[in-house]
Amino acid sequence: MRVSIMSRFKTQRCFRCCVYALGASAFFIGSRWALADTGIVGLINKPFSVSCASIPFVTKFPEINLKNWMCLPVSSVDQLQLSDECYRSKMEVLCMELQGRLCKEIEKIDRKAKFKVDKWERRAGGGGISCVLENGDVFEKAGVNISVISGNLSGQAVKEMRARHNEIDPNKECKFFACGISSVIHPLNPYVPTTHFNFRYFEVDLGNNRKCWWYGGGADLTPYYLFNEDAKHFHEQLKLACDQHDELFYPRFKKWCDNYFYLTHRGETRGIGGIFFDDLEDTSQEKVFSFVK
């Protein structure tokens, strides 16, 4: 799997941008979009092309390279290295890798603004890392945030979870762990869409060396000026990524996304949709984690 950035001006008002690729194959966030004015990125008014070399995305973690991350992780580095077979550690490392890669590539594209990093702690357990970029030449605002939290489930949370996970004992205090990454990116140019994705892992300790777990997440696109060929390309890439794991994933998760983001009062869906899933535990944990990765 590779993360690639390619930008090209064909005319003074046409911008081709593969902003980011994520997922087992590629969730391309953007493809070909028109610029209102080349001046917003501080470039001269003539055709040109820029190509950034592809960067390999790490999917196995025998060693941790802190240079790829925006700051130290919520969990200790030693803990992550010593428990590389633990899925909570795998998910945290994946989130750290993705946050670092995405933030650094966005900074390269913008050329002006830099991400501000805020590492915060949660008194009840865990914490998070918020990365926010504002007032750039290309991006009005971009956020790439991680949370890694743990603690005891409240009675209300147990009640809600038992609707889907009846193995959770409502009469017993249960410890939980949750880790996820979410991102929303708002470009200055109205011809470039707003992008959103999030991926998360949840684990509940049932006692006696037992646990229940599930994954959730999705990716969607909200263009303000619709280019049909780009909408088609976005969904084709989502389907390609899903089909590598299960051919039923894309139609199932696309419909879920359409329903989830349906605006009842307007009688329409938000943007062009994408995929959305929750409580994904249909198969082995390694297979589900590989799909999320």
Contacts of 158 (CB under 8 A, 6+ apart): 168, 170, 174
User: Token pair for residue 121?
Assistant: 């702690």
At 235, is the secondary structure helix, strand, or coil? helix
Tokens 């390269």 — which residue? 108
Q: Write down the catalytic residue from 165, 186, 196, 265.
A: 196
d(CA 112, CA 100) in angstroms, rounded, equals 18
265 catalytic residue (yes or no): no
Strand order in the sheet with 126-134: 116-121, 126-134, 139-152, 175-187, 194-207, 210-222, 274-280
User: Token pair for residue 153?
Assistant: 């489930």
> Which residues are known to be catalytic?
196
